[in-house]
Amino acid sequence: MSSSVSLPASWQYDVPTSGSTHLPPDAGYASALTNQGYSFEAAVADLVDNSIDAGADSIVVHFLRNADRIVSLLVLDNGAGMDGAALDRAMTVGHRRSYGGTALGMYGTGLKAASLSHAGSLTVISRTKRSGAAGRKLTAEGIADDFRCDTVEPSFAQRQIDVYDGLIEWHGTIVRWDQVRAFETVAKGESEQYLSKAISRLETHLGLYLHRFLSRGLNLDIAVWDVGTGEEVDHIGVDALDPFGYKVPGRAGYPKRFTAKVEGVGPVLLEAHIWPAKSQQAGFRQIGPVHERQGLYFYRNDRLVQAGGWSDLRSSEGHLALARIAVDLPDGKNDVFSLTVKKDGVGVTPAFTHGVEKATDSTGATFRSYLSDAEAAYRDGASRSVVERPAVIEPGKGFDPKVKRVVQEELPLKAGEEPLRIDWVSLPEDRFFKLDRDRHAILINKEFRDDFNEGRRGGANDAPVTKTLLYLLLQDCFGLGRWERKRADRIDYWNSILLAAVHAQRDRRNRADS
């Protein structure tokens, strides 16, 4: 059976219309809005983007818990803030504000879509220099009810601002998630472990995707606060995780700058890097599987929006594991590059891949020669022998993030082992430390805490030198099937020696103060 199509002699390029009908969104759109596929880390990063756009230089991601239950998440900033009218616009589904040339926001859906993808309730409370505290609350049920947005009681909004007056003085914003679906599924007794892993993933994601801002001085912290006791139980500063932050390149003469002539855009600069082989630096190892992180790193207004992958240029392969290329997307709209709403990938047309394949540097060297150099650096590194370092248990809660990062860079981690935590607790006076092998914890006698904090109140990650030395001394005592008498005796005499040392230190300080 065959069929034939008879095309008109003159093809009509525009489809004619005979009228228009306005079709407002159905309230069922709420279901689509809450299922945008945001990862938890990408959703929080979208909120941080809004804070940066508001001019904030200090931002805190705050997990709230009540004993063993995680109850809420807040993102706080000291940005310009919003009055009631601006809050209404920000909470309007589909409203697209006017973005400046350097803004990280783009589509006007991030606040609502990112938040409601994970939380049943989104509350935004804000104040400006000229207006008092105001707030709005949006839920999926409210959107289904003809896009209803609730007004937060002004006195409550002010109380929330007052709680964080150390950060929000004259202006700033609080974004609050309640009924967070992931929090509500955490089993009893597992909130500590969940938070440890969630914070670690979030720290890595924010440190990577915002590394240029962090390197320029943005203060971004992650904290945990127990609303029952009113105490802050954990607090870490997010450090820049530079995917190009090696100390020495893996090949002499790199990085090199290649120019790709892309039709429809013009010249696009490709900054080509080669990492040193077998690097243990966090910017190489910690941001994900090495083979997935080779390739193109796209930036938009200094915000990383794609971390690796070849964007149809070629397939990932082991010999190119050291190759990474930084690409700053051109300003303005174009038909070549398209950014996902979640800011976790960039679509490209064949015009880009064609331009990259023909790219050259100022000496005439081709992009293909760069790929050959990256492969050669990988092969040379694979043939070199290295000293095998023993695997250790990952340091966890209570250790300074900078210490944890260097441990991860310098030493392989034992697979399948829960991170080792360190806490100050009440212990008998003849004990400086104790091992809790069931909880995977090193416990230090809090009687001596002031001695290692010079009289100041210590935070969750205080006394980094003392804690790190204990970690190096004791981490291999965990994960053992059998507890030998010889090892127990060693713990006893280490305790005696360290007690003598801390008392000697205390005596010296008392003499100096007298």
Express each pLDDT in 149-192 by its tens digit.
999 999 999 999 999 887 887 899 999 999 999 999 998 888 88
Whether the pLDDT of residue 436 is over 60: the answer is yes
| 272 and 232 fall within a common domain | no
pLDDT at site 55: 94
**pLDDT averaged over every residue in the chain:** 89
Q: Do 231 and 173 fall within a single domain?
A: yes
- Give the end of a domain, one of 383, 413, 443: 383
| pLDDT score recorded for residue 107 | 57
Q: Are residues 217 and 106 in the same domain?
A: yes
Comparison of pLDDT for 31 and 332, the residue scoring more: 332
Percent over 90 (pLDDT), the chain: 58
Quick check: is 486 in a domain? yes
Nearest to 153 by CA among 178, 135, 131: 135
Question: Omega of the bond prior to 25 within 30 degrees of 0, cis?
Answer: no
Condensed to tens digits (0 to 9), the pLDDT of residues 304-360 reads 999 999 999 999 998 999 999 999 999 888 899 998 887 888 999 999 999 999 999
Say whether pLDDT at 29 is over 80: no
Q: The domain spanning residue 82 has which CATH number?
A: 3.30.565
What local confidence, expressed as pLDDT, does residue 97 receive? 61
Per-residue pLDDT tens for 123-137? Answer: 999 999 999 999 999
- Does a structural domain hold residue 477? yes
Calpha distance 356→335 (Å, rounded): 16
Peptide bond into 255 cis (omega under 30): yes
If asked whether residues 342 and 224 sit together in one domain, one would say: no
Same domain as 127, residue 205: yes
Number of domains the chain contains: 3
Digit-coded pLDDT (tens) for 49-61: 999 999 999 999 9
Whether residue 506 has pLDDT greater than 70 = yes
491 in the same domain as 414: yes
- CA–CA–CA angle 330, 333, 334 (5° rounding): 80
The edge-to-edge listing of strands for the beta sheet with 421-425 is 421-425, 441-445, 433-436
Q: What's the whole-model pTM score?
A: 0.82
Q: Is a pLDDT exceeding 60 seen at residue 2?
A: no
CB atoms < 10 A from the CB of 142, how many? Answer: 18
Strand 69-77 to 150-151 pairing: unpaired
- Evaluate whether 163 touches 76 at the Cβ level (below 8 Å): no
Q: What is the mean pLDDT of residues 246-265?
A: 95
On whether residue 161 sits in a domain, the answer given is yes
Check pLDDT > 90 for residue 476. no
Q: For residue 101, what pLDDT is reported?
A: 63
* 348 and 269 fall within a common domain: yes
Single-letter code of the amino acid located at 146: D
CA distance 327 to 302: 10
Determine the 3-state secondary structure of 463 from DSSP. Answer: coil
Task: Indicate whether 223 and 271 sit together in one domain.
Answer: no
Q: Are residues 117 and 225 in the same domain?
A: yes
- Domain assignment present for residue 473? The answer is yes
Output the pLDDT for position 278. Answer: 87
Q: Do 415 and 509 reside in the same domain of the chain?
A: yes
User: What whole-number percentage of the chain has pLDDT above 70?
Assistant: 94
pLDDT higher for 106 or 199?
Answer: 199
Q: Are residues 320 and 359 in the same domain?
A: yes
Look at residue 2 and tell me if it is in a domain. Answer: no
Is residue 111 included in any domain, yes or no? yes
pLDDT of 34 reads 74
Is 177 within a domain?
yes
Given a cut of 90, whether residue 75 has pLDDT beyond it is yes
Q: Are residues 131 and 168 in the same domain?
A: yes
In sequence order, the 6+-apart residues with CB closer than 8 A to the CB of 347 are: 311, 337, 338, 339, 340
Lowest mean pLDDT among 95-99, 128-132, 298-302, 494-498: 95-99
* 59 belongs to a structural domain: yes
Give residue 48's domain range.
Answer: 29-237
